[in-house]
Amino acid sequence: MESAAVFAGLHPTPGHHNHPLGPSRTAIKILPPSIDKINFSPLPLKLQKQSHFTSYIDNSAINSGNSFRVASPASDVASELADIDWDNLGFGFMPTDYMYSMKCSQGENFSKGELQRFGNIELSPSAGILNYGQGLFEGLKAYRKHDGNILLFRPEENATRLKMGAERMCMPSPSVEQFVEAVKATVLANERWIPPPGKGSLYIRPLLMGSGAVLGLAPAPEYTFLIYVSPVGNYFKEGLAPINLVIETEMHRATPGGTGGVKTIGNYAAVLKAQSAAKAKGYSDVLYLDCVQKKYLEEVSSCNVFIVKGNLIVTPAIKGTILPGITRKSIIDVAISQGFQVEERQVSVDELLDADEVFCTGTAVVVSPVGSITHQGRRVTYGNDGVGLVSQQLYSALTSLQMGLSEDKMGWIVELK
């Protein structure tokens, strides 16, 4: 299918980046001398189907405001994978070639964005993101198929969730179309960093932040939408193996009326203390309870949680304190399509401890089976410390769909090439 992104004169830096990039005080040129950056209009930009980057753009198309048209043969540079150990790829940050940036002022709309060389960004010490935490992020993945196609999984869902979060955080946000086009552009610009089939995925991290300077408590005057990417393997070092959770009874992730239901940055810093303490004791992560009655499940630090009892799958209902996970939403649909009964409601600790299986879902982990839960010193195990049948079945179904190994009957996959 046609790509909506346009690339001209993009030549990825040879070799493997294995160290953080240093600060850059000026934009790094990635195009021929006459063009500093690649600009994107708010309307869809159509491009003739290309498998690699091209050497220049037909400037008449730019000047006329029409769709860009590639005028030169494709380069072979982008067909080469980055020189890294794909067999031992963990879930950690690795600098890639390009990032995407788009700005707008408070009260206005985002209008165009640009690809830039990946590097540090410059912010005022008084930026809204630094002083008042006015920021959101998203997470999604791109996969490489054996036939060379590149796949995205439900990017419009991330775009919609970002818009909902932006409204809660008093920020303008890109349209769904702008978000998806920016993701496509960034992925294709970093194509050589997409792992080979079966070796992992390209993790995509969109950020929306109050980048303008503000001293008094108020929305920032300027906002930046940024996307960077990194190749990743499994989130948990165990891979698709059971993780061990501990229930936190003193600290809480979110409160009614707060921001627990949106993907704001402060939600994640708040879990670090309990998570660090749990990991120091040998647990994989923390499971949080509601802060009112302290007996109903909410979330793991960065995942939604499900329990299984016979043919019934239950997950805590979305009620403002729980993030509406896209993987969560997808697993519910997949489970229903496979004949499971699914309920979204309150789930008590007692019901959790009596479950046949427990698993977590999230963009990073996809599906992660739980081997044990510890609550107030009592440890309950599931599935003889093995991967539960339901967890395995749902993991296989969803990952096969995400990686293009099974037919997309849901209409969730976006092909980039």
pLDDT tens digit string along 406-416? 999 999 999 99
Pull the structure tokens for residue 104.
């707008």
Helix H or strand E encompassing 40:
strand 38-40
For residue 41, give every residue at least 6 positions away whose Cβ sits within 8 Å of its Cβ, in sequence order, or none.
65, 111, 112
Higher pLDDT among residues 127 and 50, named by residue: 127
Give the other-Cβ count within 10 Å of 322's Cβ.
23
**What residue segments make up the domains of the chain, in order of their start?**
98-232, 243-414
pLDDT at residue 130 greater than cutoff 50: yes
Mean of all residue pLDDT scores within the chain: 84
Using the predicted structure, report yes or no on whether residue 151 has a pLDDT greater than 70: yes
Coil, strand or helix at 141: strand
What architecture (CATH level 2) is domain 98-232? 2-Layer Sandwich (3.30)
Instruction: List, for residues 247-275, the tens digit of each pLDDT value.
Output: 999 999 999 999 999 999 999 999 999 99
CB 3 within 8 A of CB 416: yes
Average pLDDT of the segment spanning 136-158: 97
Within 8 A by CB and 6+ apart from 135, the residues are: 128, 129, 169, 207, 208, 209, 210, 264, 265
pLDDT at 234: 79
Q: Is residue 50 predicted with pLDDT exceeding 80?
A: no
- The pLDDT value given to residue 79: 58
pLDDT given for residue 61 in this prediction: 31
Burial class of residue 215, CB neighbours in 10 A (0-12, 13-18, 19+): exposed
Answer with the residue of higher pLDDT: 19 or 253.
Answer: 253
What is the CATH code for 243-414?
A: 3.20.10.10
Q: Reduced to 3 states, what is the DSSP secondary structure of residue 248?
A: strand
Reported as type and span, the H/E element at residue 246 is: strand 243-248
Mean pLDDT for 311-334 is: 97
Q: How confident is the model at residue 12 (pLDDT cuts 50, 70, 90)?
A: very low
d(CA 316, CA 296): 8
CA 127 – CA 211 distance, rounded (Å): 5
Active site positions, annotated: 263
pLDDT at 55: 28
| Token reading at 395 | 């993991």
pLDDT (tens digit per residue) in 100-122: 999 999 999 999 899 999 999 99
Strand partners, 188: none
Per-residue pLDDT band for 37 (boundaries 50, 70, 90) equals low
Q: Which two tokens stand for residue 224?
A: 């930046």
Per-residue pLDDT at 78 exceeds 80? no
Three-state DSSP at 363 gives coil
At 238 the pLDDT is: 60
Q: How confident is the model at residue 9 (pLDDT cuts 50, 70, 90)?
A: very low
Predicted pLDDT at 241: 85
Topology alike, domains 98-232 and 243-414: no
Strands 243-248 and 285-289: parallel
Does 13 score more than 50 pLDDT?
A: no
Scanning 69-149, the segments in alpha helix (DSSP H) are 128-132
Residue 321: what pLDDT? 96
What is the phi/psi pair of residue 328, to 5°? -55, -50
* 5 has a pLDDT exceeding 90: no
> pLDDT tens digits, residue range 354-394?
999 999 999 988 999 999 999 999 999 998 767 899 999 99
pLDDT, tens only, 60-73: 332 333 322 222 22
Phi-psi region of 143 (alpha: psi -120 to 50; beta: other; left: phi over 0): beta
Distance (Å, rounded) from C-alpha 305 to C-alpha 314? 9
Residue 237 has what pLDDT? 64
Nearest of 78, 79, 80, 61 to residue 70 by alpha carbon? 61
- Please compute, for residue 76, the number of CA atoms within 13 A of its CA located in the half-sphere on the CB side: 0
